[in-house]
């Protein structure tokens, strides 16, 4: 059981280049998330997905796109990288349980991957 | 706007010197408050979830408590291996998926 894995671990891009970050989880979690972590800013949500084939914008979505073609994978794309996207990117996943109201919800903790350190020159 | 504020930003302790980290929050409605530990170069590692005021949870030398306005992470007799950044996050009612994180407290425990 590997949990949440991310590839690559490190990457250096030039301004304008594109790349895709891959996140994979083997816990059969419905929900997946992409965050970025910057000094003094904390963790900020970029995009998230509540199930295969669905995605939604988080707090800082501009300049990023995502896809969730398979339940276990969540891809984060940068179409034209900018220096402002230099950051550490974390993927997370969580279980969606059924709350007391009977509706599917996500009370439970998010499990994080090891991160991808991206530098855009 | 939902806000999470952690204090202090950094805390340096001697081994065995107990202390507390604070997480204060302003949200429209709290569904859950989460504590994570993050080691340098690694992803956050889940510690606790607290759902209602008065709730407490313990794990080894750590104890988390929750009131209607804040949460404390008490560290009893810390060891150097407890050195890490401790992150607090809230999940708001009506927002099933989003966690709002504080900026963290960097804890250093000297031997």
B93 confidence band (pLDDT: 50, 70, 90): confident
Render B2-65 in DSSP notation, one character per residue: -EEEEE-SEEEEETT--EEEEEEEE-SSEEEEEEEEE-TTS--EEEEEE-STT-EEEETTEEEE
User: How many other CB atoms are there within 10 angstroms of residue B44's CB atom?
Assistant: 29
In angstroms, the CA A14 to CA A55 distance is 27
Convert the pLDDT of each residue in B66-78 to its tens digit: 999 999 999 999 9
What pLDDT, on the 0 to 100 scale, is given for residue B16?
97
Tell if the CB–CB gap between B98 and A109 is shorter than 8 Å: no
Q: Is the pLDDT of residue B50 over 80?
A: yes
User: CB within 8 A of A13, min separation 6: which ones?
Assistant: A19, A78, A81, A118, A119, A120, A121
Asked if residues A39 and B103 have their Cβ atoms less than 8 Å apart, the reply is no
Based on DSSP, count helices (H) and strands (E) in chain A, helices before strands: 0, 13
Asked if residues B10 and A40 have their Cβ atoms less than 8 Å apart, the reply is no
In angstroms, the CA B30 to CA B68 distance is 9
User: How many other CB atoms are there within 10 angstroms of residue B94's CB atom?
Assistant: 8
Distance from CA of B23 to the nearest CA of A (A): 14
Q: Give the residue from B92, B80, B90, B89 showing the smallest Cα distance to B13.
A: B80
CA nearest to A4 within chain B: B43
Q: Which residues in B have their CB inside 8 Å of a CB on A?
A: 31-32, 34, 36, 41-46, 49, 51, 87, 89, 91, 96-99, 101-104
Q: Is the pLDDT of residue B29 over 60?
A: yes
Cα torsion angle, A49, A50, A53, A58, sign = negative
Name residues of chain A where pLDDT drops below 70: 97-107
Distance from CA of B6 to the nearest CA of A (A): 11
Render A58-106 in DSSP notation, one character per residue: -SS-TT-EEE-SSTTEEEEEESS--GGG-EEEEEEEE--EE-TTSSEE-
In angstroms, the CA B93 to CA B100 distance is 12
Q: Spell out which residues of chain B touch residue A44, defining contact as CB-CB under 8 Å.
A: 101
Asked if residues B15 and B79 have their Cβ atoms less than 8 Å apart, the reply is yes
Q: Which of B42, B46, B102 sits opposite A114 (nearest CB)?
A: B42
B22 confidence band (pLDDT: 50, 70, 90): very high
- Tokens at residue B93, please? 């009612």
């Amino acid at each position: 059981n590997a949990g949440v894995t991310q590839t690559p671990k490190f990457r250096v891009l030039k301004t304008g280049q594109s790349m895709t970050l891959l996140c994979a989880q083997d816990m059969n979690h419905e929900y997946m998330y992409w965050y970025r972590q910057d000094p003094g800013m904390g963790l900020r949500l970029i995009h998230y997905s509540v199930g295969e084939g669905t995605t939604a914008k988080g707090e800082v979505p501009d300049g990023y796109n995502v896809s969730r073609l398979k339940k276990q994978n969540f891809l984060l794309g940068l179409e034209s990288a900018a220096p402002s996207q230099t950051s550490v990117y974390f993927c997370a996943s969580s279980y969606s349980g059924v709350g007391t109201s009977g509706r599917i919800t996500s009370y439970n903790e998010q499990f994080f991957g090891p991160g991808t350190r991206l530098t855009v020159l | 706007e939902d806000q999470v504020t952690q204090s202090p930003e950094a805390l340096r302790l001697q081994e065995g010197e107990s202390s507390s980290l604070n997480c204060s929050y302003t949200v429209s409605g709290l569904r859950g408050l989460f504590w994570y530990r993050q080691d340098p170069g690694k992803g956050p590692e889940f510690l606790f979830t607290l759902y209602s005021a008065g709730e407490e949870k313990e794990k080894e030398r750590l104890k988390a408590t929750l009131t209607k306005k804040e949460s404390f992470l008490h560290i009893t007799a810390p060891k150097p291996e407890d050195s890490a950044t401790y992150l607090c996050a809230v999940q708001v009612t009506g927002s099933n998926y989003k966690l709002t994180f504080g900026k963290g407290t960097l804890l250093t425990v000297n031997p």
